[in-house]
Amino acid sequence: MRIRSIGIKLAVPLVAVSIVATGCGGGNDNSSAVASDLGSTSDINPHDVADLRDGGNLRLAISALPSNWNTLQIDGNDAEVMGVERSTMPRAFKSDAAGNLSVDTDYFTDVQLTNSNPETVVYTINPKAIWSDGTPITWEDISAQANALSGRNKAFQINNTQGWDRVEKVERGVDDRQAVVTFNKHFGEWRGQFAGNSFLYPKSVTGTPEAFNTGFVNAMGASAGPFIVQSVDRGQGRITLGRNPKWWGNTPKLDTITFSVLDAQAMVPALQNNEIDAVGLASRDELKSAQGTAGVAIRRANSSQWSHLTFNGAPGSILADPALRVAISKAIDRQGIATAMENGLVIDPKPLNNHIYLTNQKGYQDNSLGFDPDAAAKELDALGWKVPPGGGTREKDGRKLEIRDVMYNQDYWVQLAQIMQQNLDRIGVKLTIDTKPGQDFFPKYIKTGDFDVAQFVWVGDLFPLGSLDQIWGYHPDDWQGNYGHIGSEEINNLIEQTVSELDPQKAMEMANQVDKKVFEEGHSLPLIQSPANIGVRANLANYGAPGLLSLDYTKIGFLK
């Protein structure tokens, strides 16, 4: 599964493999740059809890308050919301720095694939696990979530079926604390159904479409983690998490975690002024500013997020023709973008050439169409988009080839768009930069298709195949994360074969076939994978740039 993020300057632990941070250009000094492949690095200033003082407030920044706290719902499928909730919600698996999975025993004592024909997974819930309203976590919570995400009832506005459309039934096991999930079709990413970017929610949220869609709009509701949402101050733009008094696990060292809404440009100054404790560093200047700030350390690890363009191919859109989208893709110099945006942050910057796998993941290969502006110009000519006499913007049937690029109002996105603007201008395509505020960015602009191309971040996890249908499946009655409404039956069939394959190597090969077709369809264009350079308060332990490591929120705290 993948979640979306409008920006790139957060310091919220979004998923097991991600901290949001990426770069803007400037100069050739790589003295502070991080290697582009950090492997299984985790950089969180590890310390035994005995070294930490009791109490304290971890201060973080976000760009906007949640429009929906239910991250399973389409409007809640947001990286920042996921980051806020990560310390408050159950999951089945956690990972070490190398990406090796183990059962998260705070919530489940055992999770096992017990049969492959039919595929059967048994979840045994920790008998101590309860929701913050005092009700026990039971098999009925798993059953309700399976039903909500199955896609069978279109009234549930889901962001991704996450394989639940392949589940035949969920039954009570030996007692209420055990769920037996039986599939009617194979689903290779079954471990990711309550892990990575997916939490388990209470049946009070997933039991009905009304509760699912709107029950978490104004408030968080019942949760089950070491922290709970203590308060939301909409006037001040602040969320406060406090210790969960019903938490059954290890007592957290922190008293509170606060998230303050800040403009992107204000985040690094807030770190320097000791107003927040961690932030992603989005440029070489910001990196140097953080390095020059007393009491701040730089944490570095691989990020699992990437910037991209989503094309709008819906009927009536100027980019409805896939051949036109492909031609425009070929005219964008993604290597030039990588060099300009990441120089000084990454040694030897490279573009991302795969939609599914990141450069440091097994399975990554270059499936891109390449940079070829001359070919792009010829293809536009053949499509009837002609440069008028004397030059200028191409036209066809009285319509100019002008494309509106919608993005979060942040310098990084504007600078990136300006590079593409120059690229496309050379072949007679006009790109208009249209910036928007963070609040309601997705529901107001992206979900409604109010763009020709859109820039935002996808944040992945250890289960990339679980998001194939979410983003690249073509389902006119259920678009999920396919905001551009682009796809084909051929891609649908390839996705079906890939996610049904239980052999990891075969599934990986098939996933790359999907990726090739996604490029050929002009669905979207990956740009660059983000480096994770994080400025963190130097005395903050067990927090920073986790890489593949799942953070333990009970162990985060400040040194004595």
Least confident of 33-42, 135-144, 325-334, 482-491: 33-42
Q: What residues does each domain of the chain span?
A: 49-56+226-295+538-559, 64-215, 303-532
Task: Quote the CA–CA distance of 324 and 320 in Å, as a whole number.
Answer: 8
Q: What is the DSSP secondary structure assignment for residue 444, as one 8-state letter?
A: I
Q: At what angle do helices 504-521 and 489-499 cross, to 10 degrees?
A: 160
Q: Does this model's pTM top 0.85?
A: no
Q: What is the mean pLDDT of residues 510-532?
A: 95
474: number of Cβ within 10 Å: 18
Confidence class of residue 403 from pLDDT cuts 50, 70 and 90?
very high
pLDDT tens sequence across 168-201: 999 999 999 999 999 999 999 999 999 987 899 9
Task: Quote the CA–CA distance of 248 and 376 in Å, as a whole number.
Answer: 60
Provide CB contacts within 8 A for 493, sequence distance 6+. none
**Both tokens of residue 535?**
């400025």
- At the top level of CATH, the class of 303-532 is alpha beta
Q: In 198-230, which positions are buried (b, 16+ CB within 10 angstroms) versus exposed (e)?
A: bbbbbbbbbbbbebbbebbeeebbbbbbbbbbb
Confidence class of residue 461 from pLDDT cuts 50, 70 and 90?
confident
Confidence class of residue 557 from pLDDT cuts 50, 70 and 90?
very high
Q: Do domains 49-56+226-295+538-559 and 64-215 have the same CATH topology?
A: no
- The answer to whether residue 22 scores a pLDDT higher than 50 is no
Contact by Cβ (8 Å): 161, 149? yes
CA dihedral 251, 254, 258, 262 (to 10 degrees): -140
- The answer to whether residue 30 scores a pLDDT higher than 90 is no
For residue 11, the model assigns a pLDDT of: 52
524 has which bridge partners? 310
For residue 250, the model assigns a pLDDT of: 98
For residue 162, the model assigns a pLDDT of: 86
CA dihedral 407, 413, 415, 421 (to 10 degrees): -40
CA 376, 379, 384, 389 dihedral sign is: positive
Confidence class of residue 35 from pLDDT cuts 50, 70 and 90?
very low
534 has which bridge partners? 280, 299
For the chain, how far is it from start to end, CA to CA, in angstroms? Answer: 39
CATH number, span 64-215: 3.90.76.10
For residue 3, the model assigns a pLDDT of: 66
Provide CB contacts within 8 A for 484, sequence distance 6+. 310, 311, 312, 313, 314, 523, 524
Task: Quote the CA–CA distance of 93 and 104 in Å, as a whole number.
Answer: 5
Confidence class of residue 27 from pLDDT cuts 50, 70 and 90?
very low
CATH for the 49-56+226-295+538-559 domain, from 3.40.190.10, 3.40.50.10860, 1.10.10.10, 1.10.1370.30: 3.40.190.10
Confidence class of residue 262 from pLDDT cuts 50, 70 and 90?
very high
62 has which bridge partners? 261
In this structure, are strands 227-233 and 238-243 parallel, antiparallel, or unpaired? antiparallel
Task: Quote the CA–CA distance of 105 and 159 in Å, as a whole number.
Answer: 27
Task: Quote the CA–CA distance of 132 and 221 in Å, as a whole number.
Answer: 9
For residue 284, the model assigns a pLDDT of: 83
Q: What is the mean pLDDT of the chain?
A: 90
